Amino acid sequence: MTHLPNHNHDPSIATIEVKNLVVHYGPRKILDGVSLRVFPAEILVVLGGSGCGKSTLLRTMLGLLRPTSGQVLIKSKDITRLNEDELLEIRLRTGVLFQSAALFNSMTIEENVSLPLREHTALNDATIKIMSRIKIGLVGLSGYEDFLPSQLSGGMKKRAGLARAISMDPEVLFFDEPSAGLDPITAAGLDDLILKLKKTFKMSIIVVTHELPSVFKIADRIVMMDKGLVIFDGTTEEIKASSIPRVRQFIEREPEGDACQTGQFLEALNCG
Amino acid sequence: MVRYLLGYIGRQAGRAVANLHQAARLINQTAYWVTIGSFKKGVRVGSLIHEMTAVGFNSIPIVAVIAFCIGMILALQAAYQLRRIGAMVYVADLVCLSIARELGPMLTAIIVAGRSGAAFTAEIGSMKVAEEIDALVTMGLNPIKFLVVPKFMAMLLMLPCLTLLADLTGMVAGGVIGVASLGLDAGVYYQQALRAVAMKDIIGGLVKSLSFACIITLVGVHQGFLVEGGATSVGERTTSSVVTSIFLIILADCFFTTLSYIFT
Ligand SMILES: Nc1ncnc2c1ncn2[C@@H]1O[C@H](COP(=O)(O)OP(=O)(O)OP(=O)(O)O)[C@@H](O)[C@H]1O
Ligand SMILES: [Mg+2]
């Protein structure tokens, strides 16, 4: 039933390769052998219902969670076997935008954005200031440098989080639900921003989401997960033409069968 | 029923062991980053000053007021007993000794556990809930170095200072009561206090306060990292942080006092 991926890419140039990842939370198996590849300058969207393990996959790919078995190869290094010091080098080349933006509340936007630069580079203050202002400008937040995160709206926080994620010019960028909780216009703005980043910086971008409109707009390739398994891997056109029932159900937004038995309930009412 | 009970005990024990394991790792890493790590990679001076202000400077009023009250209470209670045997001048001995050895360090530690220990847990806990700790890690910043070390150092530096302040305020308060309502002469109180309190009493108190500083920071921070889920968990962990700190502080004090009683 699994759709075999038809890659136009040579597997050896993959930026990230996930092989047979199995992850448990205590005794519960969350991921059951997930494999996928991310190529340079590509936006890969990971799609799937709530609770199917998307965030878990992301956290494992970031080295925040150790898998039970399987590999995560980033630049041909298996990050699940590296210790924190060895991971550092890879972490400096990846940026993450968390679901809740995860800005540091006690710091201003500019301090948030410049933090990685201040901690990991030997640049002087003036250069750091210029560099972080460029990134803040790129996400359209010029003028808000001295605001605290609590003074920003949800969409602005996401954009500030994005500015921080790209402050070190990463090669790989991870997004966990970038448009969740945003209005359609703001969400579309964020999608444009993601596309712009891919075009200007040639980043590999992994987006976890279940917002269909934004999926079709930004995705180069889509991986769909269900119950800890990859059930689809292909392009936007392929997913629209797919005949896998679970995939169809997802893109046509059909409810779970028998989720609420309205008919029976009404019948019972009529009889009573 | 028995199986249920055994299962429950087993799960609790398992959780306790896991907690202990985590705490040991935390202590290990903190020890590394406070000593070797801070020589190799430096300390975040800005954060240290910020934490020192929060832990030390901002606690001055409450510590001073409470120490003053305790000094007064001690003086009055001592006078009550000493008046009957006509040895009022020993009020100074009683007040100053018990404050320097016991009440100064312990009271200060308990106040700071309630103020700063709870704040540590709440801060780290809410950072964990908001994925900020994960963000730190993915940015290649060690949460221990970044968050724990400034708190730990600030606590080690400030708690002894606050303890000295409490000692001094408590002793002065005893003197004020002595002069104002017990009819003692200020000079006599001063001379008597100097004779009663030896340097080793004060230093012993400060050594205790250093160990209390370790307890408050490690418990506060550990409980913060244990937060899972949402705001309820932050609240629960904060309560548990204060209760555990105070319990361990009193236990440690008990241990130190017994030790010094045996060896003197
Ligand atoms: N810290 C945790 N401890 C135990 N179980 C967890 C933990 N985090 C997540 N889970 C479980 O793992 C499963 C997958 O969670 P995950 O967060 O990866 O889902 P998701 O696909 O990101 O869902 P959503 O789209 O709602 O964010 C869920 O069933 C959840 O109950
Ligand atoms: Mg999620």
Concatenating the DSSP letter of every residue in A144-211 gives -TT--GGGS-HHHHHHHHHHHHTTT--SEEEEESTTTT--HHHHHHHHHHHHHHHHHH--EEEEEE--
Is B107 among the domain residues?
yes
The mean pLDDT of B133-151, rounded to a whole number, is 91
Is B56 among the domain residues?
yes
Share of chain B above pLDDT 70, in %: 99
Two structure tokens written together for B55: 């832990």
Is B27 among the domain residues?
no
pLDDT-based confidence at residue B29 (cuts at 50, 70, 90): confident
Distance from CA of B135 to the nearest CA of A (A): 6
Predicted confidence (pLDDT) at residue A259 exceeds the cutoff of 70 = no
Atom of ligand 1 nearest to the CA of B228: 1
Predicted confidence (pLDDT) at residue A8 exceeds the cutoff of 70 = no
User: For residues B195 and B209, what is the distance between their CA atoms, to the nearest angstrom?
Assistant: 23
Greater confidence (A247 vs A103) lies with A103
Over the stretch B199-209, which tens digit does the pLDDT of each residue have? Answer: 889 999 999 99
Two structure tokens written together for A131: 């560099």
Report the pLDDT value the prediction gives residue B227, as an integer from 0 to 100.
93
Number of H helices, E strands in chain A: 10, 10
Predicted confidence (pLDDT) at residue A145 exceeds the cutoff of 70 = yes
CB contact under 8 A, B132 and A104: yes
Interface test with A, best of B40, B129, B131 (most A CBs within 10 A): B131
pLDDT-based confidence at residue A6 (cuts at 50, 70, 90): very low
Radius of gyration for chain B, computed over Cα atoms and rounded to the nearest angstrom: 22
Report the pLDDT value the prediction gives residue A263, as an integer from 0 to 100.
63
Predicted confidence (pLDDT) at residue A260 exceeds the cutoff of 60 = no
Two structure tokens written together for A261: 């038995």
Two structure tokens written together for A126: 């003036």
Q: Environment class of residue B252 by beta-carbon count within 10 Å: exposed (0-12), middle (13-18) or buried (19+)?
A: middle
Q: How is chain A split into domains, by residue range?
A: 1-93+214-272
Asked if A2 and A199 touch (Cβ cutoff 8 Å), the reply is: no
Predicted confidence (pLDDT) at residue B37 exceeds the cutoff of 80 = no
Task: Just give the CATH number of A1-93+214-272.
Answer: 3.40.50.300
| Of the listed ranges A223-237, B1-15, B103-117, B159-173, the one predicted with least confidence | B1-15
Atom of ligand 1 nearest to the CA of A225: 21
| Chain A residues with at least one Cβ partner in B under 8 Å | 59, 62-64, 84, 87-88, 91-92, 94, 96, 98-100, 102-105, 115-116, 119-120
Q: Which of A29, A32, A56 for a ligand 1 pocket mutation test, highest count of atoms within 8 Å of Cβ?
A: A56
The mean pLDDT of B234-246, rounded to a whole number, is 95
The mean pLDDT of B215-237, rounded to a whole number, is 93
Asked if A69 and A20 touch (Cβ cutoff 8 Å), the reply is: yes
Predicted confidence (pLDDT) at residue A5 exceeds the cutoff of 70 = no
Beta strand pairing call for A172-176 and A69-74: unpaired
> Helix or strand or coil: residue A93?
coil
The helix (run of H) or strand (run of E) holding residue B246 is helix B231-262
The mean pLDDT of B36-46, rounded to a whole number, is 75
For residue B69, give Cα distances in angstroms to A5, A10, A211, B205. 76, 77, 62, 19
The mean pLDDT of A118-129, rounded to a whole number, is 90
Predicted confidence (pLDDT) at residue B52 exceeds the cutoff of 70 = yes
Two structure tokens written together for A80: 């699940």
pLDDT-based confidence at residue B2 (cuts at 50, 70, 90): confident
Over the stretch A175-219, which tens digit does the pLDDT of each residue have? Answer: 998 887 778 888 888 899 899 888 888 889 999 988 888 888 899
Report the pLDDT value the prediction gives residue A201, as an integer from 0 to 100.
86
Report the pLDDT value the prediction gives residue A15, as an integer from 0 to 100.
87
In single-letter form, the type of residue at position B45 comes to V
Q: Quote the pTM value.
A: 0.86
Greater confidence (B34 vs A127) lies with A127
Asked if B41 and B145 touch (Cβ cutoff 8 Å), the reply is: yes
pLDDT-based confidence at residue A243 (cuts at 50, 70, 90): confident
Domain span at B56: 44-263
Exposure pattern of B144-165 as b/e (b: 16+ CB <10 Å)? Answer: bbbbbbbbbbbbbbbbbbbbbb
Chain A residues whose CB is inside 8 A of the B139 CB are 91, 115-116, 119
- If one counts the domains in chain B, the total is 1
Two structure tokens written together for A194: 């993601």
Tell me B87's DSSP state: -
Exposure pattern of A184-213 as b/e (b: 16+ CB <10 Å)? Answer: eebbebbbebbeebbeeeebbbbbbbbbee
